[in-house]
Chain A
Amino acid sequence: MTMPKSTTLWRRVERILPSVVKPGRYVGGELNQTVKPWESVQTHVALVFPDIYDLGQSNLGIALLYDILNQRDDVAAERAFSPWTDMEQAMRKADIPLFSLENKRPLADFDIIGVSLPYETLYTNFINILDLAQIPIYSKARNKNHPLVIAGGQAAYNPEPVAPFVDAFVIGEGEEVILDIVNVHQAWQQSSKDRQDLLAHLAEVPGIYVPSFYSVNYHGDGTVESVTPTHPSASFPVDKRLMTKLPLPLTHFLVPNIEVVQERVSVEIMRGCTRGCRFCHAGMVNRPSRERPVDEILATLKTGLDQTGYEEVSLLSLSSSDYTNIIPLIEGLREMLVERQVNITLPSLRIESFTEDLMAVLQSLSPGGGFTLAPEAGTERLRNIINKPLSDEELMETVRSIYQHGWNSIKLYFMIGHPQETLEDVDAIAELCKAVLQEGRNIVGSRARVHAGISTFIPKPHTPFQWAPFDDLESNEQKIALLHEGMRGAKIKMTWNDPTASLLEAWLSRGDRRMAEVIYHAWKNGARFDAWSDKFNLEYWKTAFEQTGIDPDFYSHRPRNLDETLPWDHINTGVRKAYLLRDYEWSQEGKVRPDCRGQCYSCGILSTFNELRLLAPDGGWKCP
């Protein structure tokens, strides 16, 4: 036998692999991966998901961009993920830089590094990746020999906390703009000017935000006075990039050789949401609502199953039961699923848009198991405030129907810490859970189960609640204790998330540019994998705030002034600030904003993207 005659880097990696946990994370070589000879392409893009392979490989966004880029003959897209802590240690000890899974090349050899930032608790992993790749962490320290570092994803709608680390952000939907970036990069390479020229050309691309082309000024009290463009190419505000029509779905799925978090064929059936829940970041920033045709979904699932051999399919959207043709879709799927003995998951079903018909088809496809509903709040009053209106009777009717259709177990999601929440609202969560369990017992007897999942509300940028403060930890603990008390003896399983983890998310999602120093110091202090409950350590962050002299409460617990310039105001999601403010005021009056498919409330999407709307196919946008 001969040793693989590969790069010396890879030979060094192979030596450390037997000493780490789950080394299959670091070798690539999966079915349907794309490996192009390194010299055969002009542009090399490393797509990075800043968590371990097991999680990142299941990310549909990365998979889509990988496929789009690799369809071009002149581009190679490769993948890289965060090494787990043992591998990081082994790599640092052996001075092995972070490498791609395809050609096993150091990330520093790539032209472009594209980082996915779907949530804020990946930020320390992101800069750790730059450090492991031996690329300067701060954008200003990079020169033309370093890769261009771009970032995008849902968290990038407030890019400021990571602005100093990123050369250019993609704001909005990435499927088209990623190719624009490659084109700009190729043209720049030909003219071989300096890095500033590259950034200037990128800043001219719609949906690209180059943070170094803006200066931020602060008032004496620490609030933002203004964000000002300092470069002629910098637009103000920066409009998000929007696809007028959903691009063709991914059919080219990689099949990992080791177990990962999600192993299934996923297809996005709808993007955006018309409901307008006031806490929901995704529902605000992903407008307008666009649906994928049924036949396209069916064809995708068929190809995906043929290519992967997976045993499960998943239909993704923010609100599956709002998909217009949900019944024809599920009916169309039935034959395929039964014939292939494939399971289906259909997350995000809304209680009020749930019909008996849908329940019947679902039960016929996946009998048994659990059913998940998300009332989010315990009382009708509070559900009106958060704009997820639902009467207790409607909820109980749905619950009854679920048990009657043969499910035994119901999971209910709630958030605590909503604006204007009282202890009565919290107590009502326990009462509601008990009522649901009782309903279940009446129908299916002792088999009935209720599971309450409790999370903490975080006021997110670009939502009507962006001005609201984050509940303080004492209050949070009191509410969780109250829930425990309320559910005592009721045989209800209750799980809740660590409020300090939500606190971190509140700091990071609501931060301005100064937060970058805190992130940097927390990383220096040892913060990694903040999204992992067994790795997250609040002390790293507390110390970082002390080191930088920044007051954490200023970001999390301070109600923002309604006339304040918010750190993310120069990023335009299409939804107007005045609209969000009006909605915030409505919430304080307990006034509900109905689903906007029936009536347009001029959130700003249509006026911002009027030209795109004209190009959309009939009925493609759910705006009236």
Chain B
Amino acid sequence: MEVSLMSEQEQITRIRVQYTKGPSLRFTGHLDLQRLWERLLRRSALPVRYSRGFHPRARLNLASALPLGFVSEAELLDFWMDEPLPVDEINNRLSATAPPGMTIKSVRFVDLQEDALQSQMTASEFEVSFFDPQEKEALQKKVRILLAEDKVLRTRRKKIYDLRPLILALQAVTLADGEVGLQMRLSAEPGATGRPDEVLNALDYQATDYLVQRTRLILSDE
């Protein structure tokens, strides 16, 4: 009994997927994304590891919730399988059944002992583009003024917090399409996560003024 359990344990693999969340998935919230992944894994027919019990669920772990309306080039997810398969095959099977707007960028094995993805998160990087053209100098000036503050006190869900230390980097840039936008790196430590919409609001922009793309998730081992 003991022996067979051991060998079953040895077969278990943990897989980390990097994927995109495109425009048609912009408004798929965190819980819906979790369900979307459960169904994607079912369709892939990979030997996904399920929880035991009456309503077994695929064991999966999303790195960091992406605010509604954002797109992303670099989301991360871990899931577990009961038996190993080559990464190429895993990638192919996921890609074949991913919904429009989702591209599987990479698949790799990670150590079973690693912490949960959420607790490995340290920072996220974002790129912001605006619906109305922006003047680069003026935008940069707004950014400088914000960054010069000691404290940027904001209220979210009836709690006051300081946004300033969560902004690790912020600058006006010329984006790939030639338009002026923003780049930022925000803290994503557990309990200290900066939100781009809060930064943009501090810069006097409303949700209907811009689109945000997450470009990178930074984990503690990077």
Contact = CB atoms under 8 A, between A and B. Distances in A.
Interface of A: 1-4, 11, 14-19, 22-24, 27-31, 33, 255, 257-259, 306-311, 340-341
B131 A15 contact: yes
Interface string B37-54: 011111101000010000
B51 to A, nearest CB: 11
Given A2-B179, A24-B27, A258-B32, 5 more contacts: A1-B175, A15-B208, A23-B27, A27-B23, A31-B100
B181 A1 contact: yes
Nearest to B175: A1
A29 B24 contact: yes
A258 B28 contact: yes
B203 interface: no
Nearest to A23: B27
B211 interface: yes
Interface residues of B, number: 42
A29 B23 CA distance: 9
Nearest to A18: B207
Contacts of B208: 15-16, 18-19
- Highest count of chain B CB atoms <10 Å: which of A19, A257, A311: A257
Contact of B69 (A2, A18, A28, A257): A18
B37 to A, nearest CB: 10
B2 interface: no
A4 B42 CA distance: 31
Nearest to B35: A259
B42 A309 contact: yes
A24 B32 contact: yes
B207 A22 contact: no
Interface in B64-85: 68-69, 71
13 contacts: A2-B177, A3-B131, A3-B177, A15-B208, A27-B23, A27-B27, A29-B24, A255-B99, A257-B27, A257-B32, A306-B45, A309-B38, A309-B40
A345 to B, nearest CB: 15
Contact of B129 (A3, A19, A307, A341): A3
Contacts of B32: 24, 257-259
Contact of A22 (B27, B213, B215): B27
Nearest to B212: A1
Contacts of B5: none
A335 to B, nearest CB: 16
A1 B100 contact: no
B154 to A, nearest CB: 19
Interface in B162-178: 175-177
B153 interface: no
A31 B99 contact: yes
B41 A29 contact: no
B25 interface: yes
Contacts of B35: 259
Contacts of A4: 23
| A-B pairs with lowest CB-CB distance, top 9 | A29-B24, A309-B39, A24-B27, A309-B42, A2-B177, A18-B207, A31-B99, A309-B43, A257-B28
B145 to A, nearest CB: 24
Nearest to B23: A4
Interface string B1-44: 00000000000000000000011111111011001101111110
Contacts of B55: 341
Nearest to B132: A15
Interface string B99-129: 1110000000000000000000000000101
B65 to A, nearest CB: 15
A255 B25 contact: no
B191 interface: no
Contacts of A309: 38-43, 97
B24 A28 contact: yes
B23 A19 contact: no
Interface string B115-155: 00000000000010101000000000000000000000000
Contacts of B177: 1-3
A229 to B, nearest CB: 48
B36 A257 contact: yes
A306 B96 CA distance: 12
A69 to B, nearest CB: 20
A29 B39 contact: no
A3 B181 CA distance: 11
A19 B101 contact: no
A31 B41 CA distance: 14
A2 B131 contact: no
Given A29-B100, A29-B101, A308 B43 contact: yes
A389 to B, nearest CB: 39
B56 interface: yes
Contacts of B39: 255, 308-310
B80 to A, nearest CB: 16
Contacts of A24: 26-29, 32
Contacts of A257: 24-25, 27-28, 32, 36, 99
A29 B211 contact: no
B99 A2 contact: no
B213 A1 contact: yes
A3 B28 contact: no
Nearest to B43: A309
A29 B99 contact: yes
B29 to A, nearest CB: 7
Nearest to A258: B32
Contacts of A311: 42
Nearest to B26: A27
Contacts of A259: 31-32, 35
Nearest to B32: A258
A319 B55 CA distance: 29
- Highest count of chain B CB atoms <10 Å: which of A3, A4, A19, A340: A3
A304 to B, nearest CB: 11
Nearest to A22: B27
A19 B207 contact: yes
A15 B209 CA distance: 7
A2 B176 CA distance: 7
A258 B27 contact: yes
A307 B122 CA distance: 37
A31 B44 CA distance: 13
A311 B38 CA distance: 10
Given A1-B175, A18-B207, A255-B39, A341 B28 contact: no
Contact of B43 (A2, A11, A30, A307): A307
A11 B129 CA distance: 13
Nearest to A368: B54
Contacts of B97: 31, 309
A427 B59 CA distance: 52
B20 to A, nearest CB: 12
Contacts of B28: 24, 257-258
B110 to A, nearest CB: 24
A341 B208 CA distance: 42
Contacts of B207: 18-19
Contacts of A1: 71, 127, 129, 175-177, 181, 211, 213, 215
Nearest to A308: B39
B202 to A, nearest CB: 17
A27 B24 contact: yes
A382 B202 CA distance: 69
Nearest to A310: B39
B105 to A, nearest CB: 16
Nearest to B33: A257
Interface in B199-221: 207-208, 211, 213, 215
